[in-house]
Amino acid sequence: MCKALNCYAYLKEQGVVAAYYHAGMSPSARKQVYSAFLGDKVHIVVATVAFGMGIHKEDIRLIIHLGKKFYAHPYHNDLDDSLLG
């Protein structure tokens, strides 16, 4: 099980309203998580790097990166392009 999924499972066990996002999800499932996050229905998204850095939401207070060092600049708008394109 990947670190993101372990983290998500732990949060759910603690009663935290969270969503899980990864590249293997269907486009409609990914869009559902993204929309829930933008609409403040979900306040925490535990994700692999697939969630991208192209999130246009003004009230993000914290981003935590676990695992390997990741340089996001090549992926800056991948999420917007794939979901809204």
Look at 13 and 78; give whichever has higher pLDDT.
Answer: 13
Find the domain containing 32 and state its range: 3-84
Pair 79, 52: CB distance under 8 Å: yes
Residue 80 scores a pLDDT above 70: no
Q: pLDDT digit string (tens) for 10-68?
A: 999 999 999 998 888 899 998 999 899 999 999 899 988 767 656 778 888 877 777 66
What pLDDT does residue 70 have? Answer: 55
Residue 81 scores a pLDDT above 70: no
Q: Domain total for the chain?
A: 1
CATH of the domain at 35: 3.40.50.300
